[in-house]
């Protein structure tokens, strides 16, 4: 009786508290849209892309003309008696254009372009990881919502069983052990109701964080345990690996390392600049009556730098070797991840069908067993086993549906598809 009172008070509190914090209902598409706009991980990845673009402009600036303006004004004289001072003004406009440096700068620009591609692939990879986290949180909340209802249904069923066993005990048709077992099953069911409600709050918090929200108000999701990827024939995993953003990012790093090696080797090449200047120096008077100008070529040939140039080449070769090895290692890891994710997805898809058959069978057996137990055709021990099987079958079918959505999300992540996919 005490447990019934606690359940009743808990239900009343839940009903009264609900209007104070109205649940916000979200669909999957609404969650995707919000995460794309608000999640800090995507903002961070976008900032890295913007940095890479800025680095490319900085590096490419060496290929453009350099123009500088200098203006000077100074007064000079001596401290001798009767001496006078002189006020001098001068200005100069200087221009410089790189003509040739052995393609060192152009190689650096090419490396910067690959870095931009790598930053874009990194953004895509972050988007794929975020989609998996968001889909997992969405699925867990969907499961938690249904689990609350299922736990309440099981508790109600356990309560009816207690009343039935109590009447049979009072009538002398059942012993005290059966009644105590039914009461224990009810206590377990009541605990699972409370546990499911706490799990619901946790799932709501997890989804809010996956959306990038600072506040964590009650949420509710709309959906079903159905997959969108209907593919049943295994695709070519090698093609999927090469289109994966993480592999493409590794590939761009290898290409960038090759360009960096070319730039290091070309550092030994002479540098040729076209230079010109325009200006005038004058004493005491402004404006200038005449302008001086000059134009010419400047050639700079590196002769000895203490071995730093060769050290840079050696380092660049080592970096290229490292990137090539990481690209191969990444390919193997991604291939294994795709293989495993495909297997898990297909296993989860078939498991749902299997658990549905178990649930259907458990429901049929429960219906028959209830009638048999009421008529005294089976013992309490046989009846309670069938009841417990039905409870387990309902939970396992719910878990199988949630596992299917998670497995699909892992498969989509393994393919490198993000929030835009």
Question: Can you give 263-306 as a three-state secondary structure string?
Answer: HHHHHHCCEEEEEEEEEEEEECCCCCCCCEEEEEEEEECCCCCC
Q: Tell me, what's the pLDDT at 7?
A: 47
Tell me the pLDDT tens digit for each residue of 41-55. Answer: 999 999 999 999 999
3-state secondary structure of 100: strand
Q: In what helix (H) or strand (E) does residue 34 lie, and over which residues does it extend?
A: helix 28-38
Q: Tell me, what's the pLDDT at 93?
A: 87
Tell me the pLDDT tens digit for each residue of 279-314. Answer: 776 645 555 566 778 888 888 888 887 888 899 999
Task: Enter the pTM of the model.
Answer: 0.83
3-state secondary structure of 418: coil
Strand ranges for 135-254 from DSSP E: 219-221
- Residue 356 contacts residue 377 (beta carbons within 8 Å): no
CB neighbour list of residue 69: distance below 8 Å, 6 or more residues apart: 91, 92, 93, 94
Q: Give the mean pLDDT of the chain.
A: 88
**pLDDT surpasses 50 at 111:** yes
CA 174/CA 396 separation, integer angstroms = 31
Least confidently predicted of 76-90, 261-275, 376-390: 76-90
What tokens does 19 get? 């209007």
Least confidently predicted of 92-106, 167-181, 283-297: 283-297
CA 190/CA 164 separation, integer angstroms = 18
Query: Domains of the chain (ranges plus CATH)?
Result: 22-65+90-275+310-414 (1.20.1600.10)
Q: Percent of the chain scored above 90 by pLDDT?
A: 62
Q: In what helix (H) or strand (E) does residue 94 lie, and over which residues does it extend?
A: strand 86-100
Identify the bridge partners of residue 98 per DSSP, sorted by sequence position. Answer: 273
CB neighbour list of residue 242: distance below 8 Å, 6 or more residues apart: 248, 331
For the chain, state the CA radius of gyration: 38
**pLDDT surpasses 70 at 328:** yes
């Amino acid at each position: 009786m005490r447990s019934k009172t606690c359940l009743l008070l808990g239900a009343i509190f839940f009903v009264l508290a609900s209007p104070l914090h109205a649940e916000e209902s979200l669909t999957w598409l609404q969650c995707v849209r919000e995460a794309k706009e608000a999640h800090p991980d995507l903002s961070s990845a976008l900032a890295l892309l913007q940095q890479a673009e800025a680095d490319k402009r900085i590096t490419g600036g060496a290929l453009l003309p350099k123009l500088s303006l200098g203006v000077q004004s100074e007064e000079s004289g001596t401290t001798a008696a009767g001496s006078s001072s002189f006020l001098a003004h001068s200005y100069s406009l200087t221009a410089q254009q790189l003509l040739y440096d052995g393609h060192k700068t152009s190689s650096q620009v090419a490396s910067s372009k690959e870095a931009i591609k790598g930053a874009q692939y990194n953004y895509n990879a972050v988007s794929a990881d975020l989609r998996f986290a968001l889909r997992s949180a969405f699925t867990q909340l969907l499961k938690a919502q249904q689990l609350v209802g299922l736990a309440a249904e099981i508790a109600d069923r356990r309560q009816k069983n207690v009343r039935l066993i109590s009447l049979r005990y009072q009538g002398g048709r059942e012993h005290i052990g059966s009644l105590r077992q039914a009461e224990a099953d009810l206590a377990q069911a009541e605990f699972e109701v409370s546990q499911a409600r706490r799990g619901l709050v946790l799932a709501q918090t997890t989804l809010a964080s996956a959306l990038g929200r600072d506040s964590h108000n009650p949420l509710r999701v709309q959906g079903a345990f159905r997959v969108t990827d209907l593919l049943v024939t295994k695709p070519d995993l090698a093609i999927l690996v090469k289109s994966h953003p993480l592999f493409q990012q590794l590939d761009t790093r290898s290409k960038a390392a090759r360009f960096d090696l070319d730039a290091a080797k070309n550092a030994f090449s002479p540098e040729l600049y076209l230079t010109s200047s325009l200006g005038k120096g004058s004493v005491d008077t402004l404006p200038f009556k005449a302008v001086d100008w000059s134009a010419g070529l400047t050639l700079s040939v590196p002769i000895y730098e203490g071995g730093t140039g060769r050290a840079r080449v050696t380092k660049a070769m080592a970096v290229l070797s490292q990137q090539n090895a990481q690209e191969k290692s990444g390919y193997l890891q991604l291939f294994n991840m795709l293989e495993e994710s495909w297997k898990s997805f297909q296993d989860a898809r078939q498991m749902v069908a299997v658990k549905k058959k178990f649930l259907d069978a458990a429901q049929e057996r429960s219906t028959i067993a209830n009638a048999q137990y009421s008529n005294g055709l089976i013992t309490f021990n046989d009846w309670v086993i069938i009841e417990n099987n039905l409870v387990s079958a309902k939970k396992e079918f719910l878990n199988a549906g949630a596992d299917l959505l998670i497995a699909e999300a892992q498969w989509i992540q393994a393919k490198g598809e993000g929030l835009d996919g």
